[in-house]
A and B are shown apart, each in its own frame.
Chain A
């Protein structure tokens, strides 16, 4: 009579191996090899295949966050061909990470020649092959003569694209609204859109303009610099575009970057019910006003990330209104980037506790000739209101800032005002650490 099996360890190794091979999750694989030497030895031959899924994100994090270098996309192309498990993990990370994470010129289209070459390459592929590794493309140097090729590429392969840059910060690189409107109709799977558009037809009224549905769009970067540097910005046109995008995509948007004009739209809080990340970029001749700060104080958003004012934009005064606005997001805020004017009136005791706040980046300007003695003590209060703060970046700005004050700010940061900080960097700006 066969001996009865009372314990999983009584099973023969070949049967155990078969059972363990059914485990899909890499965490389960790790649990198996960590359980006992026997199980480790049975599955040892599959370690390189399975552990890669957990090791690759660590290798990437080191490149991106510590060395501040994008990760080579070519490496990913190679990993995808090694074996099924590596391909599966590589593709998962490709979908997870942002465009900027990768070092890759292949899908950044600057001119007609590359687009033409891509179209020739892609049309020669068998049916059903996705020619766009990573599912993202960028058109950042496309002028009017190239719109035809750009549209041909989007029309042909738009269903593969999940992330797209249409236009760039370079002034001349804007898309006429009707081209953008048409392009979006061929991008039904878009999740991230970066757009620099303008209304080319001056006879068009200022009503909300129609845009095609993009049900998966979660992240929108609406460029603020919409006019030539030598002409006066047309704020009304820009507000019209902002209004149009918010009307079309607001209900699903989670991450939004745009100008302060957003905050001057009617019922803005209700129109972006799922917003968790907001970046307000200053635009030429326009900065955030006290009314905008009040609008933010009333907004019913569960923001995890908030950034106000980027380089070149005026700093915000440390007013009671600013503290009120920050308090509005205290329960959910994880990362904050502010450009502020440090004043004697700064009173961190007006702030409530921010239990989730982990990163703060401050661009600090000040007109002090002498650093106020009690200000350092008040700065100490930040460590009480932000008990979980892990990373603080302070950048001092302003040509006229008194050198002694600048040093005092460095001292405040480095000598333990924020003693619980695990790490900090002085005077550096890391765009890649913003989104958690």
Chain B
């Protein structure tokens, strides 16, 4: 089985099958570029991902492993036609996968899935964050993301007044 070493920003190496890695658009391109530039067709590619730390890379690979037999969808597949729709594609496994994560980790996963071009993972993580921000009040968002207001003086009131016409119409 052909393997590839994927190295996280903080130096952890993950040895995975190329078949699995190629389900990420970015890793697929990197592996193909390595093949073209390498004289030895047997050489094992090594790919360093400087923007993703080990904990997150491990989660991405875990998700890919679970979904390795799903059909690969183009990055901008129109979801209106049903294929690749996060709602339809989200399995109980996905829900259990995301359930223990705090939103900081989920946001890191969005950035990682976007960078590595893993559409299915991007769909479910974006959907989760959207559900925590769309139609929510300011306080609900602060609670969900564990954020505190850091506005000073009348800054918050000023922002509220600027928003008022938009919110009420």
New A-B pairs, 14, CB < 8 Å, besides A48-B145, A55-B129: A44-B104, A47-B108, A58-B126, A66-B79, A67-B80, A78-B137, A81-B138, A81-B159, A82-B142, A83-B142, A105-B169, A106-B166, A126-B161, A134-B166
Neighbour of A422 across the interface among B75, B114, B149, CB < 8 A: B75
Prevailing SS type, chain A contact patch: helix
Chain B: how many interface residues by the 8 Å CB criterion?
A: 53
Could you list some 17 contacts between A and B, CB below 8 A?
A34-B52, A51-B107, A66-B78, A67-B80, A68-B80, A78-B136, A79-B133, A80-B162, A87-B159, A114-B169, A125-B161, A129-B158, A131-B164, A132-B165, A133-B165, A134-B166, A423-B76
Of all chain A residues, the one with the shortest Cβ separation from B138 is A81
User: What residues of chain B lie closer than 8 Å to A30, measured between beta carbons?
Assistant: 51, 111
Of all chain A residues, the one with the shortest Cβ separation from B10 is A36
From A55, A122, A125, name the one whose CB has the most chain B CB atoms within 10 angstroms: A55
Neighbour of B74 across the interface among A47, A105, A129, A422, CB < 8 A: A422
B1 within 8 A of A: no
Neighbour of B107 across the interface among A35, A48, A77, CB < 8 A: A48
Q: Are A55 and B111 in contact (CB under 8 A)?
A: yes
Of all chain A residues, the one with the shortest Cβ separation from B110 is A55
State the CA gap A84–B126 with chains docked (Å): 22
State the CA gap A74–B10 with chains docked (Å): 39
**CB-based A-B contact count at 8 angstroms:** 138
Q: Are A118 and B165 in contact (CB under 8 A)?
A: yes
Q: Are A34 and B50 in contact (CB under 8 A)?
A: yes
Neighbour of B76 across the interface among A66, A82, A126, A133, CB < 8 A: A66
Q: Mark B129-145, 1 if CB is under 8 A from A, else 0.
A: 11001111110011001
Of all chain B residues, the one with the shortest Cβ separation from A430 is B78
User: What residues of chain A lie closer than 8 Å to B111, measured between beta carbons?
Assistant: 30, 51, 54-55, 58
State the CA gap A86–B155 with chains docked (Å): 14
Q: From residue 47 to 96 of chain B, which have CB atoms closer than 8 A to chain A?
A: 50-54, 74-80
Q: Contacts A59-B130, A82-B138, A423-B76: A34 and B169 contacting too (C-beta < 8 A)?
A: no
Closest 6 pairs (CB-CB, A-B): A47-B104, A34-B9, A77-B163, A48-B145, A106-B169, A51-B107
